Amino acid sequence: MKLLKTLLAATALTAVAASAAQAEKWDMPMAYSATNFHSENGAKFAECVTKGTGGAYELTTHPSGSLFKGGEIKRAIQTGQVPIGERLLSGHQNENALFGFDSIPFLATSFDDSVKLYKAAKPAMDKLLASQGMTILYAVPWPPQGLYFKKEVTKVADMKGIKFRSYNTATARLAELTGMLPVQIEAAEISQAFATGVAESMISSGATGYDRKVWESLTHFYEVDAWLPYNYVLVNNDAWSKVSADNQKVFKDCAATAEAAGLKASKAYTQFTLDGLKEGGMTVGRAGDGLVGELKEIGKTMTTEWLGNAGDEGKALVDAFNAN
């Protein structure tokens, strides 16, 4: 009996050791602060996968660009340095214009329209990312993009010469067309950039400004609802192919939950963060009709340029969006 108990104990220990050896630890880099709704949503997704796979896949999120800077995350996933991560793909529009579909000025200016645009674009995005060895697990839009300044701005001429934080091709081009000076700055560096004068303005959501307490350096936020860019959680296809069908289902189910929860959070966060900017002392409100009119004319130029760069696939997804 003693020998039997010893054998059973040894067998149990061996099983535990084998289970531990088989567990996959996946690091998941994220560009935004731990308190940002995207990062919080990603942490819940990671917990869902870890629990749903019984610990076979243990996901750990790394917010604030702590593992890889925002601009490095896509390459890290693509090359297999990490199996999974979150990235704002419009930041890679210089690679392929299709990545910037969600930053076409004034094409989709509401949550409903942004979801419709994403659905129209997803087949092309899936194809493009597959060619780069990646798969979209889920995507969540930011709140509508507005303009931040250190002074009152009522017309485009007021922007001339201002140092403008850009985060993708569209924002850099917007700066050029308005006479501002584009400066490439990742989200994690925003507070320091404004505090030191490296940047004096940006176009972003109320969420980004609130998370980075930009009221310490800036004074005005103008709601223009220019576009709603998406953050994507991507998985490396080599790593994905090694996940069993049952565990892939867990990932997909958790991703579907995260996509729905993220959209809901983004909507709720919109007004909350605008109120937070006000409480911080900023002047917050709709941009004047004159300024919006000038920006929409610039938007027409940018749309024409984007369609020229995106080719037939770009035209097809915009046509599909407009048809619905």
Which CATH topology does 23-142+229-273 take?
A: D-Maltodextrin-Binding Protein; domain 2 (3.40.190)
Residue 14 pLDDT exceeds 80: no
Residue 270 backbone dihedrals phi, psi, to 5 degrees? -55, -60
Q: How far apart are CA 257 and CA 47, in angstroms?
A: 12
Residue 15 pLDDT exceeds 90: no
Q: How far apart are CA 235 and CA 28, in angstroms?
A: 9
- What tokens were used for 234? 């991507």
Tell me the mean pLDDT in the region 96-113: 96
- What tokens were used for 236? 């490396």
Q: What is the per-residue pLDDT for 243?
A: 98
β-partners of residue 322 are none
Question: Is residue 247 packed enough to be buried (19+ CB in 10 Å), middle (13-18) or exposed (0-12)?
Answer: middle
What's at 310, amino acid-wise?
Answer: A
Mean model confidence pLDDT for the chain = 93
User: CA separation (Å) from 136 to 74, 84, 133, 156?
Assistant: 12, 10, 11, 37
Q: What is the per-residue pLDDT for 213?
A: 96
What ranges in the chain are assigned the alpha helix state H?
2-22, 37-52, 70-78, 111-131, 169-178, 190-196, 206-211, 237-241, 245-279, 289-323
Residue whose C-alpha is closest to residue 57's, from 260, 255, 244: 244
Residue 125 pLDDT exceeds 80: yes
Of the pLDDT bands very low, low, confident and very high (cuts 50, 70, 90), residue 77 is very high
Residue 116 pLDDT exceeds 50: yes
Domain ranges within the chain, ordered by starting residue: 23-142+229-273, 146-226+282-323
| Same fold yes or no, 23-142+229-273 and 146-226+282-323 | yes
Q: What is the per-residue pLDDT for 162?
A: 98
Q: How far apart are CA 316 and CA 268, in angstroms?
A: 32
8 Å CB contact between 245 and 21: no
* Segment 135-152, tens digit of pLDDT: 999 999 999 999 999 999
Match domain 146-226+282-323 to its CATH number in 3.30.70.3290, 3.40.190.170, 3.30.70.20, 3.40.50.1010. Answer: 3.40.190.170
Q: Per-residue b/e over 147-171, b at no fewer than 16 CB within 10 Å?
A: bbbbeebeebeebeebbbbbbbbbb
Q: What is the per-residue pLDDT for 13?
A: 43
Q: What is the per-residue pLDDT for 23?
A: 87
* Segment 206-250, tens digit of pLDDT: 999 999 999 999 999 999 999 999 999 999 999 999 999 999 999
Tell me the mean pLDDT in the region 285-293: 97
Residue 16 pLDDT exceeds 60: no
- Count of CB atoms situated within 10 Å of the CB of 271: 11
